Structure 1
Amino acid sequence: MRRFIVTALLMSCASVVSAQQLPNPIVPSDFPKLDTETVALGRQLFFDPILSGNDNIACATCHHPALGTGDAMSLSIGEGGLGLGRLREVVNGNAPKARIPRNAPALFNLGAREFSVMFHDGRVQMDRDSMYGIAMPEGRTLERPMNSALAAQNILPILSHDEMAGHPGENPIADAIDAEQIHGPNGAWAQLTAKVEAIEEYRMAFDWIIGEDVPLHISDIGNALSQFITYEFRATDSPFDMYLKGNTTALNADQMAGMTLFYGDANCSSCHSGKFQTDHGFHAIGLPQFGPGKDDAYSDAGRGMISGDTADKYRFRTPSLRNVTLSAPYGHNGAYTDLEAMVRHHLDPFEGLGNYDRRQAALHELGEGAKDWEPMDNLAEVLRITMAAEIEPVALSDEEVDQILAFLGALEDPISRHGRLGVPDRVPSELPLDPVSDPS
């Protein structure tokens, strides 16, 4: 009898959701074709600190597979830090604003063809009117065509003083960036490329890809990183994927009920739509603001700072929800470390902002000078964030919230907990790797 009831419930949920037009299953053509040698090379570059100005921080430091391709912190410590995740400490006496102003976003599925907008504010995106078809920040236009928006965004963190480049006076690359010498034979990109090319193992690997007599270019490095990220962090074999492919037993009763809510009354899919649960758009959801922000007032206007449109203030890119159970904290600044708390904020952003528990933020200790909470202590700023919020409150019971969470769990690909290739034992530069153990 119990089996009959459960089966009836599943069939009922399925019929309701079918009316809401579930996304089509992901197919191989949703991703670009990859080259094995380039993927392997990109893996070495991803974990190698050689791409930093001071040879002390890698892409993986803030996007480590052991930490859900992030670093498990609301806001990262980049340059001047030592260690991984919550164990990372400031070692060079950096000023408080050395804290990175936005959360290190997850990398899952960013290599899929439909991901044409990068960063929380979309400052890199495919755009036919821009140089080589990719819009880049001012002063950072591409020197050559690149394979994707992902490849283009890969060559930007290496230009950030607080992320990977280091500060003026510490190394020639940081000095070049400070002088806005980015392009050309003596620019920061060329200097970083020269560091990689000087390592014989890297030059030999690139010989197979670009040719023995072809000088290495920063675009080659960005493309290699893109191929590795596309392969390593593809997450398309979740229970939800199995369900979409016709396995009606792939989801349990709570997950099915959560799916019905997600694509129905809870209104989640109005923004988290499509195969990867993102519309790739920008929305203001009233998240509390803390950290150094993006301007002198410690605030962060998000997309509005890129578009110049006042209507875009406090809007941020809709993240994919694939592997959301692995990629806390959540939001453009990691405001919530708890997934349920983030879900409940979406249900009533005004309540969430007004009663935000600051203990939700996972921040490294930087002392009183950090002024992390200036925006939240500024009533006018809080009101501006509140007025910009676009989400209409939705009333759900505790049971329904649990069902939403169950469905979000069904978006997790089991392989993402350990990866495909994983962390290499060494990198060609012989610089030390970040610790592999999960420090969270």
Structure 2
Amino acid sequence: MFYACRSVWKQVCAVVTATMLVLPVHASEIVKPSPIVDGDFRKVDPKSAALGQLLFYDKILSGNRNISCGTCHSHDHATADGLSLGVGEGGIGLGPKRRFGEGRDLAIKRVPRNANALFNLGHKDFRVLFHDGRLSAEDTYGNRFNTPAEEWFPKGLTSIAAAQAMFPITSRVEMAGDPAENDIAASRRERIDHVWPKIARRVSTIPEYRKRFEAAFGVQGGDITMVHIANAIGDFIISEWRSDTAPFDAWLKGNKTVFTPQQNAGADIFYDKGNCASCHSGALLTNQKFYALALPPFGPGRIRPFDPYARDVGRMAETDDLADAYRFRTPSLRNISRTGPYGHNGAYATLDGIIRHHLDPIAALESWNRDQVVLPEQARFTAGDFAIWDDAREMARLKRSVDIEPVWLTDPEIAALVEFLKTLDDPTALAGRLGKPKRVPSGLPVD
């Protein structure tokens, strides 16, 4: 590690790296994680998963019937949307080409955080979701999960993937819309659990859904609840995007020829010199803990009611512990080369960019180029997207909260690390098992 006298070392290494080859391969000596096996995953009913596929892409679940789960977590974009910060309710289009609606359809703000990828959420080791960990598998309130809904969260959710599906439909900016526009959003003002019965009633009026819920869950139309809906969506996510057949998985099982020499060198860096596996550990490549990385801030932030300006304090917003300020959950790296932009706010469009940030967070923050972000332009939001940079005190607080030490890697080593991360791409998981439906029972268009 060369941290002191960085400018001098950069001059020296600029000459060295011009001719430097990738380091010798030691990947065969690495202590590898245990491979994923069938028993690691929760079993799902195929009828429930097939029902969940339709619900996942059906806009009937949104307040104004204009956005689905699949709009921001699409098969076309590796279960994400290709944007740094998404365009939620009222938006038009899909993926990086999605744009804001106009007039009454103009959203109140950008979605505050980057869309999470959905791979391997059926693995029994996954216990924490969302960038700030506001959903966890803890029986804090007697309903199996610790969530923002607290004791109002219903019982009967069968997986953390199902529990996750309960929340985007309650968010004004993501799926619910404005309270003046529909009764779904209006009921959110009363209490979060008032939203879910109204969604269930909508779904239960559609004959095809009534038949499918009876076949999958044995419930009649009037007895369909949001718990049934979320469990079906969870089962779909679990079965659709299980990822354990990438070249990385063959390597875990002992195949020594599946990697190129450069990928082997990248594996050696990942598990040794780069210290990547200290956080991105195990077969899921996450320890599910929280770290402050001083990622470049921008956008509306996930503000608390008393925050005076747009900022995002991460885990601290959930724990009220100052020690958690600016900390965010370590993401899984499965299919990582396909799920950019990277970071809780999508601050880096490329793997090379986010890796370099990890190597020296403060230096990277200070030299960050705003062209790294992928943000649909909208005059109402663009003017304030980077306003936080003018707040010297907030930027100083961000810089003081860094949990990782600088690491020195050469350009060839970074390139090798990028190539290793590409071995986590799983064509079967990326394509999905059922795929995107051509139609949904509500008759609404599929994005």
TM-score, normalised via structure 2 length: 0.91
- CA–CA distance in structure 2, aligned partners of residues 96 and 232 of structure 1: 30
The count of aligned residue pairs is: 418
Question: What is the alpha-carbon distance in structure 2 between the residues aligned to residue 215 and residue 408 of structure 1?
Answer: 46
Cα shift at 1:108? 1.1
- Contact 1:291–1:372 (CA<8 Å) still a contact in 2? yes
CA drift of 1:378 comes to 1.9
- Contact 1:255/1:404 (CA < 8 Å) preserved in 2? yes
Kept in 2: contact 1:116–1:148 (CA 8 A) = no
Identify which of 41, 49, 67 aligns with 1:57.
Answer: 67
User: Which aligned pairs between 1:151-300 and structure 2 lie closer than 5 A?
Assistant: 151-180=162-191, 182-183=192-193, 187-213=194-220, 215-295=223-303, 296-300=308-312
Residue in structure 2 matched with residue 67 of structure 1 by the alignment: 77
The answer for the alignment partner of 1:36 in structure 2 is 46
Q: Distance in 2 between matches of 1:68 and 1:102?
A: 17
Q: Which amino acid aligns with 1:51?
A: L
Match of 2:95 among 85, 93, 104: 85
Amino acid of the structure 1 residue aligned with 2:81: D
Counterparts of 1:36 and 1:365 in 2: how far apart (Å)? 41
**Contact 1:96/1:366 (<8 A) preserved:** no
Q: Does 1:433 align with 2:416?
A: no
CA distance in 2, matches of 1:406, 1:140: 46
Report if the CA contact (8 A) 1:135-1:141 is conserved. Answer: no
* Equivalent residue in structure 2 for 1:14, among 21, 25, 28: 28
Query: Using a 3 Å threshold, how does the CA distance of structure 1 residues 96 and 226 change in structure 2: closer, same or farther?
Result: closer
- DSSP 3-state at the match of 1:266: coil
State the shift of 1:250 in Å.
Answer: 1.1
Q: Check 1:128–1:222 CA distance in 2 against 1; reply closer, same or farther (3 A cut).
A: same
Over aligned residue pairs, what C-alpha RMSD do you find? 1.6
Tell me: CA distance 1:369–1:234, structure 2 relative to 1, closer, same or farther (3 Å).
closer
Q: Does 1:130 align with 2:147?
A: no
Higher mean alpha-carbon deviation, 84-93 vs 334-343, is at: 84-93
Render the CA deviation track for 1:122-164: whole Å, top value 9, x for unaligned.
1110113333120010467322221122211101000001100
CA separation in 1, counterparts of 2:398 and 2:157? 36
Matched position secondary structure for 1:75: coil
Moved more, 39-48 or 214-223: 214-223
CA contact (8 A) 1:117 1:125 kept: yes
CA distance in 1, matches of 2:142, 2:133: 16
* Aligned residue number for residue 373 of structure 1: 386
1:48 to 51, 55, 58: 58
Q: Give the counterpart letter for 2:28 in structure 1.
A: A
* Distance (whole Å) between structure 2 residues aligned to residue 383 and residue 327 of structure 1: 30
**2:361 aligned residue (349, 361, 370):** 349
* Residue aligning to 2:20: none
Identity %: 44
- Residue number in structure 2 paired with 1:5: none
The answer to whether residue 324 in structure 2 is matched with residue 317 in structure 1 is: no
Give the aligned partner of residue 402 of structure 2.
389
Aligned counterpart in structure 1 of residue 414 of structure 2, from 401, 405, 410: 401
For 1:210 and 1:395, locate their aligned partners in 2 and report how far apart those are by CA, in whole Å. 55
Unpaired runs of at least 5, structure 1: 1-7, 435-440
Residue 210 of structure 1 and its aligned partner are, at CA, apart by 2.1
Q: Which moved more, 1:393-402 or 1:80-89?
A: 80-89
Q: Deviation of residue 375 (structure 1)?
A: 1.5
What does the per-residue CA deviation read over 1:188-220, in whole Å, with 9 as the maximum and x for residues that have no partner? 110000011111101110101221447011111
Q: Give distance in 2, aligned partners of 1:275 and 1:393.
A: 25
- Looking at structure 2, the residues matched to 289 and 357 of structure 1 have their Cα atoms a distance apart, in angstroms, of 12
Report how far residue 382 of structure 1 moved. 1.6
Paired residues of 1:284 and 1:316 also in contact (CA < 8 A): yes
Q: Does the CA contact (< 8 Å) of 1:336 and 1:360 recur in 2?
A: yes
Question: 5+ unaligned residues in a row in structure 2: which ranges?
Answer: 1-22
Distance 2:167 2:88 in 1: 14
